[in-house]
Structure 1
Amino acid sequence: MQTSVPSLSALDPGSSEPIYRQLYWRFREAINAGLLKPGDRVPAARALAKELGLARGTIDNAYSLLTSEGYLVACGQAGTRVADGISGTSSSPPTSAVAQAAPHQAIRQQSAVLPFQMGVPALDAFPRKIWAQIGARCVRGTQPQDMANPSVYGLQALRAAIATYLQVARGIACSPAQVFVTAGYRETLSLITHTLLKPADRVLVEDPGYPPTRRLLQSLHITPVAVPVDQDGLRVSTALEIGHNARAAIVTPAHQSPLCVSLSLPRRLALLEWASQQNAWIVEDDYDGEYRYVSRPLPALKSLDREGRVLYSGTFSKVLFPGMRLAYVVVPAALVDRFKESCKTFQGGCPELNQAIVATFMAEGHFGRHIQRMRKLYSERRAMAVNGLNSVLGDRIQIDANPGGMHLILRLNASCADSLMVQRMREAGLFAEALSEWHQGADKPSGLLLGFANIDSLASAQALGQRILALM
């Protein structure tokens, strides 16, 4: 059977509608217009991706949607073809009609994600069908006792699933009792500080580093002490000089936020030695440690902890989606009882239906497979974003070749203030964060932090680059 390639109208990289949705509508219009007939074979995803200059995941998402709605049928080695019984009635509804015809209306009428949004995973590639099936099963299985107040420690099934995953993926040996579920990183950090620290304590933080961490500490009258970061991560030698009486250190050793460098092994060991000698704590924020593109993900700092000085903070916002509002912290065994008491005071508990869905998603293996797919997809999208922006902006910028993470750093010329560029971009409907605002010292380099996870084609990256160029 010969492959049929319809004449598709041009895709619009600047549209708010994702490329895979645009492709979905192009194929649907071709089928309804009779350009593609029942039994016709459509191009293989790999071949079409190459022809259109898109990531294969984008094509797969469009084909999956068409298949789930009965327009296409996967026939194994025979390829994918147009389903039988599809009538050629023209249907190319406008956007408003599309929204009305959808079987389930979106909760939000407009996208809350701007181009280059930081900290947002590839929402178009999330396995919504599997998620919906698991969610439906969990709802059907709900018992009266499941409707009571949630446990402030977290659902036991999720705590067990997290402990199992961390043992395999991050080299962390812990029991489910050491895992406490929270509503996000800030709640995790708040729980840790209320349990282990007191006002006037000093805490080592990375410079540059995540601004909300400093603000939360300061709101609790805890003093953040800035320690510079270089190509090997936190300068532990500097930390030893200025942190002799610090009670804790908060670090991002897998992918330093925002520079994306990794804390070297000698420095990891030196930091652990410092914590042991000072009877201090280390908070390891492993916010996107799964995503490394030049080699295997590095083992967690917690995996090297032999004296119980490291508290490991993880989140589902980057690996699933931020609307989930679920995170967790793994505490040393000796601190379990103290954290239980703190949870009774400071934690309200997270919705257990959400926790049950995540626990099932993990236990059935979907979580691990999703991360593997996203690691490959992000590697592709990272390359497309770099190539697209470089082709348009040229020597006006320098892009850091980060080995991991979900964002890029665009270094600007000294004459271009990053804070001003951020303001212009926000006004133009583009997201960016100023690198200078993540620095505490006098030397504040100019740069833009741009998320790339939702840039799904080279053409999209180039179109966004043109919008940035117009603002420079």
Structure 2
Amino acid sequence: MRSRRDMTASSIPAYLRTLALAPESPVPMHRQLYFAIREAILDGSLKRGTRLPSTRTLAQDLDVSRNTVLAAFEQLTAEGYLEGVIGSGSFVTLRLPEEALQVRAEHGAHTKGKARPPGPSRRGADLIKMAGSRPRPTTFSPGMPELAAFPFELWSRLLAKHWRDPPASFLVGGEALGFRPLREAVAFYLRTARAVRCTFNNVIIVSGAQQALDLAARVLIDPGDKAWVEEPGYPGIRGALVAGGAGLVPVPVDEEGLSVAAGQSLAPDARLACVSPSHQYPLGITMSLKRRLELLEWASAADAFVLEDDYDSEYRYAGRPLAALQGLDADGRVIYVGSVSKVMFPGLRLGYMVVPDHLIDAFTAVRRLTDTHPPMLAQPALAEFIEAGHLVQHIRRMRKLYAERQAIFIDACRQELDGLVVARPAEAGMHLVVTLSQGLDDRAVASAAQAENIDAPALSGYFLGPPNRQGLLVGYTGVPEATIRRGVLGLRQAIRTVAAR
């Protein structure tokens, strides 16, 4: 009569009885066993439907731990090479995963041209069109700050100070509205620098101004609601509104800012008006006090809201920065949005919004549903950066530097682009709108400029409807003097290339 050991050995497939594992190999034992069995199944050494020995039996025969065999079997089962049958054991599958993939590929080949997987929704397709594509930051990118002038040594010390031995509260999460000391610092800064009426309770820390626009659209807009947008205007606002289901109503901008009278004529029942009153993007116009009051009167009468995008108001080169529109609002209609990306560096991705008291709970709830809370990493350092006065000092230094660079750019244009463009000084902002003198198509010039490593978007691309003017947006703030002058020469080449066609 055979021993139990002999009976067990005879039940093991011949291939497995000859299998040798190498304990000295850097590959873990369970991975060696997995690869060996998988290869045997694929080359037919282990036939389909073959019953494998129990994990205990195979472990004894191979002189390895049972956990090694269990790990290998679990992986093979998960990938479809083995099937487990309760009460019977593990079997080689009758249909290998490679065959299933082949059938799927052949099916796709047979149906090519007849049926396609579903694509994005109509709203998604609209957003894709709006997003377009932009080149990587190059010479003259609008809105790019001077990164080399930022006090990174100071910033790194603040980060190290708060994260060398962080409290547990930094590690396990954060408040939906943001780190309270940062909200307090932002509220103080906005009250003193921008005449915004708020306490820290009204401040929400966001991952850049774009998230603030998205949150506002989610909270304030129902599908089908109309929203005024500036024409021409910032594409990021339009994208957030379309994502929220809004119908965009382009309202012309004149020398006093967004035309409230035109907006009332086009869509008097709009739910929301989006404006950049301190420095309109892209034209650079400052909304007059008369027009600001008209806008607030319309919002009150129409039971609507105003979204104020205050994206670069710190950089005003003539007089003090103008007070925010929000400071004139006594009716809780204005949602104020700002960012430190253009003041510090874009990769920081921190911004803020100021929300009226009666909307705080709604914004808090929606914020929790989107990304729970802003990342904690930079918030404590930014709070101290603001509280200690470093932000104001940095803005003051950059305001002087940027004014000098604007003058250098205009001087270079007069020397090298006389008769080709008109570049006039502006009292504020981080870019200029340069007018083309020869009636050239601004999109063609912008495309030719990219070949010269110049990012100067076409003004006509910022219109929703037919553009009534053309030009180029040229950023000068993040460009040293020598690069400005080289860039102007590249711009001249791009203009001449298009003119010669």
2:419 matched residue in structure 1? 395
* Larger mean Cα displacement after TM superposition, 421-430 or 157-166: 421-430
TM superposition shift of 1:414: 5.0
- Per-residue CA deviations over 1:396-426 (Å, capped at 9, x if unaligned) read 1011432110001111135311111111222
Q: Secondary structure at the match of 1:402?
A: coil
Distance in 1 of aligned mates of 2:439 and 2:407: 27
Structure 1 moving runs of 4+ over 4 Å: none
2:370 matched residue in structure 1? 346
2:170 matched residue in structure 1? 146
Normalised to the residue count of structure 2, the TM-score between the two structures is: 0.70
Code of the residue aligned with 1:452 in structure 2: it is Y
Unaligned runs of 5+ in 1: 1-110
TM superposition shift of 1:347: 3.0
Residue 249 of structure 1: which of 273, 298, 302 is its match? 273
TM superposition shift of 1:446: 1.9
Q: 2:459, 2:470 within 8 Å by CA — same for their partners in 1?
A: yes
1:232 matched residue in structure 2? 256
Distance in 2 of aligned mates of 1:378 and 1:175: 31
Q: 1:413, 1:446 within 8 Å by CA — same for their partners in 2?
A: no
Distance in 2 of aligned mates of 1:219 and 1:304: 29
Does the alignment pair 1:214 with 2:238?
Answer: yes
TM superposition shift of 1:185: 1.9
- Per-residue CA deviations over 1:55-107 (Å, capped at 9, x if unaligned) read xxxxxxxxxxxxxxxxxxxxxxxxxxxxxxxxxxxxxxxxxxxxxxxxxxxxx
TM superposition shift of 1:449: 0.4
Identity among equivalent pairs (%): 37
Q: 2:410, 2:424 within 8 Å by CA — same for their partners in 1?
A: no
Residue 155 of structure 1: which of 179, 187, 204 is its match? 179
1:291 matched residue in structure 2? 315
TM superposition shift of 1:151: 2.4
Distance in 2 of aligned mates of 1:282 and 1:470: 43
What is the alpha-carbon root mean square deviation over aligned residues?
1.5
Number of residue pairs matched? 361
2:151 matched residue in structure 1? 127
Distance in 2 of aligned mates of 1:414 and 1:437: 19
Q: Secondary structure at the match of 2:154?
A: helix
TM superposition shift of 1:112: 5.9
Q: 1:152, 1:344 within 8 Å by CA — same for their partners in 2?
A: yes
2:138 matched residue in structure 1? 114
Code of the residue aligned with 1:209 in structure 2: it is G
Distance in 1 of aligned mates of 2:181 and 2:451: 45
1:275 matched residue in structure 2? 299
Does the alignment pair 1:464 with 2:487?
Answer: yes
1:76 matched residue in structure 2? none
Does the alignment pair 1:355 with 2:355?
Answer: no
Does the alignment pair 1:184 with 2:208?
Answer: yes
2:188 matched residue in structure 1? 164
- Per-residue CA deviations over 1:281-338 (Å, capped at 9, x if unaligned) read 0000000011111221110000111111000000111111110001111000111111
- Per-residue CA deviations over 1:115-135 (Å, capped at 9, x if unaligned) read 101221111111111111111
Q: Secondary structure at the match of 1:410?
A: strand
Residue 463 of structure 2: which of 413, 429, 439 is its match? 439
Unaligned runs of 5+ in 2: 1-134, 496-501
- Per-residue CA deviations over 1:12-62 (Å, capped at 9, x if unaligned) read xxxxxxxxxxxxxxxxxxxxxxxxxxxxxxxxxxxxxxxxxxxxxxxxxxx
Q: Secondary structure at the match of 1:394?
A: coil
- Per-residue CA deviations over 1:250-289 (Å, capped at 9, x if unaligned) read 0000000011110000000010000111110000000001
Q: 1:261, 1:402 within 8 Å by CA — same for their partners in 2?
A: no
Q: 1:310, 1:332 within 8 Å by CA — same for their partners in 2?
A: yes
Residue 356 of structure 2: which of 328, 332, 350 is its match? 332
Q: Secondary structure at the match of 1:395?
A: coil
Distance in 2 of aligned mates of 1:341 and 1:215: 22
Distance in 1 of aligned mates of 2:213 and 2:478: 28
TM superposition shift of 1:227: 0.7
Code of the residue aligned with 1:427 in structure 2: it is A
Does the alignment pair 1:303 with 2:327?
Answer: yes
TM superposition shift of 1:240: 2.2
Residue 367 of structure 1: which of 384, 387, 391 is its match? 391
TM superposition shift of 1:188: 0.7
Q: 1:385, 1:455 within 8 Å by CA — same for their partners in 2?
A: no
Does the alignment pair 1:203 with 2:227?
Answer: yes
1:422 matched residue in structure 2? 446
- Structure with the greater relative contact order (CA < 8 A, sep ≥ 6): 1 or 2? 1
TM superposition shift of 1:165: 0.4
1:107 matched residue in structure 2? none
Does the alignment pair 1:194 with 2:218?
Answer: yes
Distance in 2 of aligned mates of 1:269 and 1:238: 15
Distance in 2 of aligned mates of 1:196 and 1:220: 9
- Per-residue CA deviations over 1:164-193 (Å, capped at 9, x if unaligned) read 001100111211111111112221111111
Larger Rg: 2
Q: Secondary structure at the match of 1:376?
A: helix
Q: 1:210, 1:438 within 8 Å by CA — same for their partners in 2?
A: yes
Residue 199 of structure 2: which of 175, 184, 187 is its match? 175
Q: 1:391, 1:462 within 8 Å by CA — same for their partners in 2?
A: no
Q: Secondary structure at the match of 1:356?
A: helix
Code of the residue aligned with 1:263 in structure 2: it is M
1:5 matched residue in structure 2? none
TM superposition shift of 1:152: 2.1
- Per-residue CA deviations over 1:233-254 (Å, capped at 9, x if unaligned) read 1111212222311001000000
Q: 1:425, 1:432 within 8 Å by CA — same for their partners in 2?
A: yes
Normalised to the residue count of structure 1, the TM-score between the two structures is: 0.74
Q: 2:217, 2:240 within 8 Å by CA — same for their partners in 1?
A: no
- Change in Cα spacing, 1:112 to 1:414, as seen in structure 2 (3 Å) is closer
